[in-house]
Amino acid sequence: MIVSVKNPLIPVVVTILCLAPFLDKAFHVDDPMFIWPAKQIQKNPADFYGFEANWYGTKLPMAEMNLNPPLASYYIALVASLFGWGEIALHTAFLIPAIAVALGTYYLAKQLCSAPVLAAMAAILTPAFLVSATNIMTDMMMLAFWMWAVILWMRGIRTNQWLSLLAGAVLIGLSGLTKYFGISLLAMLFVYSLVKKRRIGLWTLMLLIPVVFLAAYHWVTVALYGRGFLSGAASFSLMTTQENPTGLFLNVLVSLAFAGGCTATVLFFSPLLWSRRFLLAGVTLVILLTVTLTLVPRIGAFQTHGAAGARWRYLLQFALMAVTGLSILSIACIDLWRCRNAESLLLLLWVAGTFVFACFVYWTVNARAILPMIPAVAILLVRQIQRQGRARQPVRLKRVVWPLIPAAIVAIVVCHADYMWANTTRTAAANICKRFETHKGNLWFQGHWGFQYYMEAADAKALDFKASQLQPGDIVIVPPNNTSVIDIPPRLAYPIEVFKFAPHRWLSIMSIYHGAGFYGAVFGPMPFVAGRVNPQEYHASIVLKRFMIFPPDK
């Protein structure tokens, strides 16, 4: 057993203390894709995607670009109507889902292990949790509904309380209407309930409630936009997965690296999780994998060799994360083998299902896809420590607290690196627009994410590859480390200036140069990379002759 304290206020306070320094973080990556619909909702609540935007290099209806369900945007619209559209107001509002996840982890762990505070802390102090909690996106809100749906449904199944089952079913529906992955709870909780009850019962009817929610939503999107978003999202995921083939072996390795890096807490608890023999085997596997990867020319789009030879430091980090990810899946399998009950099966389905989705179904492996498994991983971690304690000796409180210190350091440093990178885009937009505010020509820009949000707020124009007519004297800004960026030949637009803004100096979270791809493995096969980080660059060119990027066929 683990000697522990049980106080739900501890994870709440820790969550607030960890996230409060980042409340002024600039809007970032996909945040605008949820903020823009929120602004539309304030104008017309019944037509949430009834506008156009340029997100992939040309202006398209939002209903063709954003297939996410709109519940998070309705929440943003409500908060903004009361407190405005400022960064601090919206980030403060998104503290609530993060606290709900922390509390949900505590109360679920209270049912499944002897140290619920430790489990909640192990979930909070992970890179994926802290970074996701500082974004204005769907992920943390979806997970908040998810956690409490599991808690209430399990209570209802255990005690035959139909009110708990009803509340859990409604929360499953709300989770699915926040992010589609939430609907996977249907299969997971159905299997759990069937194993727990050993028969089909009236509880099965309750699971029809989220099905009705999603069917109604599908009908609404067909009526509004002529297409069902559920089937459209599935088609998009399949299409983009096929467009980025990495190979099965490397794709699994990348997914393991993301699982291990996003839940780095597991690494620091390894001495309490495994015997010395298993730890030695893990170290050996890290070394063997590092050496083996030197024989592979690239992992995804990232070159494993540079001018000086193999990138040993990078490959060692990758191998360490991948083996940590493998240990997570191993713990889930061991838990089921040892316990052989409905709760262990639930945790295994939770972790393995999330991993399979991130690896094979989602459009790209990223930390947002890994996030849903973190509470289950934290609970499994504590349960494994309990087993090791019974096999050897009771684990004292101070022994389980010490690993939380390096885990907290890594998670907060990763969160700070993301914070600094986000803020460089806001600073860059402000400085670039000020630099050219007296210029007579138009100020165009490529790239999207938060950079687009702040450039458009300063009246710069997003370059439309199919419609924008560039005139002599116009200025074009190109951020190489961004998305939907096309190089313009110097004969059309001559380079005149390079703006550089320094993010975190020693840790990269999203860089095609350093192989870090926290928000998308297409940028790099690891969620973050330790090492010297180059400044973010923004290239300014002046247009020499009239042209369009992709002129229409004559």
State the average pLDDT over residues 393-417.
85
State the average pLDDT over residues 193-199.
92
Write down the pLDDT at residue 14.
Answer: 97
Q: How confident is the model at residue 554 (pLDDT cuts 50, 70, 90)?
A: very low
Per-residue tokens: 244: 């980025």
Least confident window among 219-233, 289-303, 343-357, 358-372:
219-233
Nearest partner of 364 among 199, 490, 242, judged by Cα:
242
The model's pTM is 0.93
* Residues forming beta bridges with residue 547, ordered by sequence position: 470
Write down the pLDDT at residue 551.
Answer: 76
CA quadruple 256, 365, 98, 229: dihedral sign: negative
Write down the pLDDT at residue 492.
Answer: 92
* pLDDT surpassing 80 at residue 281: yes
d(CA 354, CA 256): 12
Per-residue tokens: 125: 């102090």
Question: How does pLDDT run across 211-245, given as a tens digit for each residue?
Answer: 999 999 999 999 999 887 776 555 555 555 544 54
* pLDDT surpassing 50 at residue 432: yes
Write down the pLDDT at residue 66.
Answer: 87
Nearest partner of 499 among 527, 544, 538, 469, judged by Cα:
538
CB 90 within 8 A of CB 72: no
Higher pLDDT, 47 or 307: 47
Amino acid identity, position 403: P
d(CA 261, CA 264): 5
> Phi/psi of residue 530, each to 5°?
-85, 140
Question: How does pLDDT run across 487-540, given as a tens digit for each residue?
Answer: 889 899 999 999 999 888 889 999 888 899 999 998 999 999 998 888 999 999
State the average pLDDT over residues 194-210.
92
Least confident window among 10-24, 118-132, 384-398, 430-444:
384-398
State the average pLDDT over residues 46-71.
92
The whole-chain average pLDDT of the chain stands at 91
Residue with tokens 């309750």: 206
Q: How confident is the model at residue 396 (pLDDT cuts 50, 70, 90)?
A: low
Per-residue tokens: 285: 């596997």
* pLDDT surpassing 90 at residue 370: yes
